[in-house]
Amino acid sequence: MSTYSDYYNTGSNLAKLEFEKQAFIGALAKGLWNSAPRKALGYLTGMGGRIGSKGSFAYKYMPSSTVGAGLGGGIIGASSAEEGNRMNAFAAGSLSGLTIGFIGNKAGFIGSRIANPFMRRGNVSRYSTLGFNDDAARALSNKNELNYIDHILSESGGNVAKLKNYRGTSQYKDLAKEYRDLVDEGISTSKNNYVSDSFTAGLNKAREQAKDIAKAQFSQSEASARAKYYASKTLKTVGSVGGGFALVGAVHQPVLNVSESVSNKFVPKRAQTPSNIYNPYYEGF
């Protein structure tokens, strides 16, 4: 006859098996999520990562979005090419994709400057001109500058020379003292010409803090100042997108022509016409 103790032991064992199964599934899912193939796929599709060592040309100018554009261009080219010329088309498509991706990263910046030269990375006076009071203007400037610092360090892999150059700008002088001290700390604690991980963590924390302060100050500002800010941001976005597409469209065909010419030297294109007696696909009359 079964007892309550038997019921308890049976239920306990079943629960243990269930927990072990869930733990295994969770570990398996985590392992797949962090696996090298997944990271490689994310990189090649433009969704994360950089190539090359920190501070190198490849690291700065070849983010995953650029490499992803090259891979995509190569696949599209190969899929539309005739049999026997797919390797040539892949090479030409990859080269043009990489070039367009590289240009595209800068095209938006150029377009935004043309469309709205006023909306530049500036100092406190820029926000004051839009109608924000001193506290709001300084808070918005702090947020903007910390984001800029994060951007230049990200592109360079954390090269401390970027911080040293920044310290000589007027924007640095407009920063709140605690943020100027943070920049100075990043320089003093750097090793082998690169900022430390502790500084990077501190910068991220300061960015979140500055973001919250700026958000609060912005919401309390005059409606007219907020409207001018949004209008300026919109103009910048339109210029970035429109200018980017215009520039990429203008250089697309020349880039494609050069890419095909270069790829033909390394992977010769096989002619598909009867006039070429060396054409392996021509069987004669």
Give the whole-angstrom CA distance, residue 88 versus residue 269: 6
**pLDDT value at position 70?**
76
Are 245 and 178 within one domain?
no
Does the pLDDT of residue 138 top 50, yes or no? yes
Q: Which residue has the higher pLDDT, 234 or 42?
A: 234
16 within a domain of the structure (yes/no) = no
* Residues contacting 97, CB < 8 A, separation 6+: 69, 70, 71, 72, 73, 74
Token pair, residue 139, equals: 């808070």
Q: Which residue has the higher pLDDT, 259 or 37?
A: 259
Are 150 and 217 within one domain?
yes
β partners of residue 168: none
Are 210 and 245 within one domain?
no
Average pLDDT of span 81-107: 78
Q: Which residue has the higher pLDDT, 215 or 238?
A: 215
242 within a domain of the structure (yes/no) = yes
- pLDDT band at residue 284 using 50, 70 and 90 as cut-offs: very low
Are 243 and 266 within one domain?
yes
Residue finishing a domain among 221, 250, 266: 221
pTM: 0.60
Average pLDDT of span 92-116: 73
- Backbone CA torsion sign across 86, 92, 95, 98: negative
213 within a domain of the structure (yes/no) = yes
Are 262 and 285 within one domain?
yes
Q: Which residue has the higher pLDDT, 282 or 60?
A: 60
Give the whole-angstrom CA distance, residue 152 versus residue 154: 5
Are 88 and 153 within one domain?
no
**pLDDT value at position 223?**
92
Task: List, for residues 4-21, the tens digit of each pLDDT value.
Answer: 565 555 655 555 555 554
256 within a domain of the structure (yes/no) = yes
283 within a domain of the structure (yes/no) = yes
Task: List, for residues 47-90, the tens digit of each pLDDT value.
Answer: 556 666 666 677 766 776 677 777 777 787 777 777 777 788 88
**pLDDT value at position 80?**
75
**pLDDT value at position 36?**
54
The domain total for the chain is 2
Task: List, for residues 227-248, the tens digit of each pLDDT value.
Answer: 988 887 787 777 667 766 777 7
228 within a domain of the structure (yes/no) = no
- pLDDT band at residue 118 using 50, 70 and 90 as cut-offs: low
Are 137 and 208 within one domain?
yes
Are 215 and 141 within one domain?
yes
Most confident of 37-46, 101-110, 261-270: 261-270
Residue finishing a domain among 221, 253, 268: 221
By residue range, what is the domain housing residue 138? 132-221
148 within a domain of the structure (yes/no) = yes
Mean pLDDT, all residues of the chain: 75
Are 269 and 141 within one domain?
no
Are 145 and 197 within one domain?
yes
- pLDDT band at residue 205 using 50, 70 and 90 as cut-offs: very high
DSSP assignment of 57-101: HHHHH-BHHHHHHHHHHHHHHHHHSPTT-HHHHHHHHHHHHHHHH
**pLDDT value at position 133?**
93
Q: Which residue has the higher pLDDT, 107 or 214?
A: 214
112 within a domain of the structure (yes/no) = yes
Are 217 and 155 within one domain?
yes
